[in-house]
Amino acid sequence: MQRRSVGSSGLAVSRLGLGTLTWGRETRLEDARGLLRAFVAAGGSLVDTAAAYAAGDAERMIARLVRAGDVDRDDLVIATKAGFGIRDGARVVDTSRAALLSDLRGSLRRLGSEYVDLWQLHAWGQAPLEESLAAIDTAVSAGDVRYAGVCNFVGWQTAQAATWQAAFPGRTPITSAQVEYSLLARRAEVEVVPATRAFGMGLFPWSPLGRGVLTGKYRTGRPRGSRGASEHFSWFVEPYLEPRSRAVVDAVATAADGLDLTPAQVALLWVRDAPGVTAPLLGARTVAQLEPYLACEDLELPAEIVSALDDVSGGPNAGREGYEPTITP
């Protein structure tokens, strides 16, 4: 699998990432073992997780698989997050210095690792931004973190964080941003993508398949075993089951038929090769789901298909002309 530089930093990752949102809940250890083995065997390196995923169980599963020898820790770029969790059944964002560093200590313990390759603020919080970013500087200085990023920040928040860190020598640069981005969610193109490019940051789209809707599996209902039918994740899929998404899903399916691909492959290729993207994060729960995405390595969508999908999903992508991602051998 090709590797891409994360913005202008020295960090390079596979151009697909493996997400672990469902690990510890919908994804069992044996399925996670198969996923991680197949992903690394295909040249994948970026594994994205969070302290909040399944109350830390996703991180614990990664550690178990590394300890068992299923993969080598040196073959992984582990990206985790801090500042978000569930307390007394409610979602809580706490980006204070104390909370962030506590989350990091917990992540390192659960991962069984001396360091995190990429540590990300999981969300914009109420604590002063300079306090949250100072926690990143502390973690990097201590050797617990190698690179830093932000997640779910809008454009001005992304730019503010990057500017603050660049304003004084010795502060840790913000290397990456992670946001939702797909044919059903193109808001990132308005401000986030321009901000990441302006500040030399990488971009990791989460849910590149439109929370699973772009696979086409919801066209006739909610299949048993899908996230849309799940007790934990039905709320996550619901926004994209409305009629306005149907035209985009139908267009993806039509393109897939013409190219002899699956709708999921078409949707993934559109995101993977969009301007500014470093690596989409895949939420596959089984090896059978993952394999078609790994099979996309040598595929590209024809320019006319890309243009048609742009048009049906919101209009031309202003950053597309003349843009080429940085490839690391």
**pLDDT, tens only, 115-132:** 999 999 999 999 999 999
pLDDT reported for residue 1:
97
CA distances from 128 to 80, 138, 153, 164, 189 (A): 21, 16, 14, 12, 27
Write the DSSP string, 27-64. Answer: B-HHHHHHHHHHHHHTT--EEE--TTGGGGHHHHHHHH
**Residue 232: its pLDDT value, please?**
65
CA distance 221 to 201: 39
Per CATH, the number for 3-210+264-328 is: 3.20.20.100
What integer pLDDT is reported at residue 326 of this predicted model? 60
Task: Work out the pLDDT band at 329, boundaries 50, 70, 90.
Answer: low
Is residue 238 predicted with pLDDT exceeding 90? no
Average pLDDT in the 72-78 region?
98
Among 34-43, 88-97, 147-156, 191-200, the minimum mean pLDDT is found in 88-97
Q: Is the pLDDT of residue 179 over 80?
A: yes
Helices and strands counted in the chain (H then E): 11, 13
What's the confidence (pLDDT) of residue 30? 97
pLDDT tens digits, one per residue of 316-327:
998 987 555 566
pLDDT at 86: 76
Please indicate whether residue 263 or residue 88 has the higher confidence score (pLDDT).
263
Structure tokens at 47: 């594994």
pLDDT at 90: 80
Give the confidence band of 302 by pLDDT, cuts at 50, 70, 90. Answer: very high
Q: Where are the domains of the chain?
A: 3-210+264-328
pLDDT of 299: 98
Give the whole-angstrom CA distance, residue 64 versus residue 98. Answer: 28
pLDDT of residue 91: 84
Q: How far apart are CA 201 and CA 17, in angstroms?
A: 16
Q: What pTM value is reported for the model? A: 0.94
Provide the pLDDT confidence category of residue 236 given band limits of 50, 70 and 90. Answer: confident
β-strand partners of 81: 120
